Structures are given as structure tokens and as C-alpha cells.
Amino acid sequence: MSDKHAKGQILNRTKMADSLGISMPTLDEWVRRGCPVVTRGGRGRSWQFNSAAVRSWRDDDIRASMQDTRHATNDELRRRKLQAETEQAELDVARAKELVVPVEQFERALDKAFGEVRAGLRNVLPGRAARRLVGETDETQMKAVLLEEIDQALEALADADLIHEADLDIDEGDDPDSEDG
């Protein structure tokens, strides 16, 4: 991989794993093997990855592992092929059982849900809390009122259907499994 600054998005650990379609433990293993990290996470700091740099590293990593196949035995190559076929079959079964969804569909659902939560808190909380806090001077009482209002708003949102099935539909052009794409 070149040392030039690769253009890409800065993503946290969860979003980086999601964008690659891998698990967090897999991403952790890649980091141990040399996957580039912008900022290592720790107490109060989130992990940051440059998506282009990680993809470039992964391409190089795949190329390097492909070169290793020249020295692999036939048994090793058969085992690897069987493992890949098994993983693909398991993914196909999970899709058929609707246990997995495309990342785009999941992101759309999260965007919709968080938008509803944000709107619910911003629309309900200030108006109701302001009326209850007029003339209040005790800081402890103010905090109690705000926490009560926040809890009520969150309970109302928890009982609401934030996401409807129609919100999750992917346009034909967006579907990576469609015949056209």
C-alpha cells in the first residue's frame, strides 16, 4: 500500500466492519496483522479507520494470500475451497431465512429510527419541560424534571413503530443482488 493519503471516509470500528461486511473480531484480527488505523480506540476514544486505506490494505492482503496458494498442497487448496463454499452456503441460507439484510437496508433503518428519536426528543421535550421549569430555581429539581421528561419521551418512542417495512425497501438500482447490478 502506498504512503499517500488515501481518500476515503473516516469510520469508527463498527461502521468500518459493517462497510466491509465483516465481524468486529475479524477487523480486530486484521488490525493485529497490520491493517491501518487512523486512531486506536481506548478510554473515551473511538477507533478511527480510513475506509480507502483499509480497503487498499485488504486488497494487498488478498494478493499476498493468493501468492501463498502456489506453495499450498492440494489438500490445503481443497480445504480452503470447501471452507469458502461452506461460508457462501451459510450466508445464502441466512439470507433465505431473512436473518441478514444488506448493509444499505440496515443503515436506512438506523437512520430512520434515530431520526424519529431525535425528532421525538426535540419536539416534545423542550415544550413540556419549559412549562414545568418556569420559576424553578433549585438545580436538583430542574435535573429531576428534565430526566423525568426525557424518560417519558423515550418510553413513548419505545412504544412507537419507528420503522415501517416500506422504509426499508431498497430501490432496484440499489440492490446488490439484483439481476442488473
Structural domain includes residue 94: no
Q: Which residue has the higher pLDDT, 35 or 160?
A: 35
Residue at a domain's end among 52, 71, 90: 71
Whole-number mean pLDDT of the chain?
Answer: 81
Supply the pLDDT for residue 138: 93
- Least confident piece of the model among 75-79, 96-100, 119-123: 119-123
Supply the pLDDT for residue 4: 44
Number of separate domains in the chain: 2
For 11, the enclosing helix (H) or strand (E) is strand 10-11
For residues 57 and 108, membership in a common domain is answered with no
User: Which one of 46-60, 66-80, 146-160, 165-179 scores highest in mean pLDDT?
Assistant: 46-60
Q: Residue 166 is part of which domain span?
A: 103-174
For residues 108 and 162, membership in a common domain is answered with yes
Q: What is the mean pLDDT of residues 90-112?
A: 84
Structural domain includes residue 61: yes
Structural domain includes residue 180: no
Can you point out the beta strands (E) in the chain? 10-11, 49-50
CATH number at residue 16: 1.10.10.10
Supply the pLDDT for residue 132: 85
Please tell me the distance from the alpha carbon of residue 128 to that of residue 138, in angstroms, as a whole number: 18
Structural domain includes residue 78: no
Q: How confident is the model over 16-31, as pLDDT tens digits?
A: 999 999 999 999 999 9
Structural domain includes residue 5: no
**SS3 at position 147:** helix
Q: Which pTM was predicted? A: 0.39
Return the C-alpha cell found at 69: 496458494
| Cell numbers 447490478: residue | 181
Structural domain includes residue 131: yes
Q: How confident is the model over 147-180, as pLDDT tens digits?
A: 888 888 888 777 777 777 666 665 544 444 444 4
Residue at a domain's end among 28, 51, 71: 71
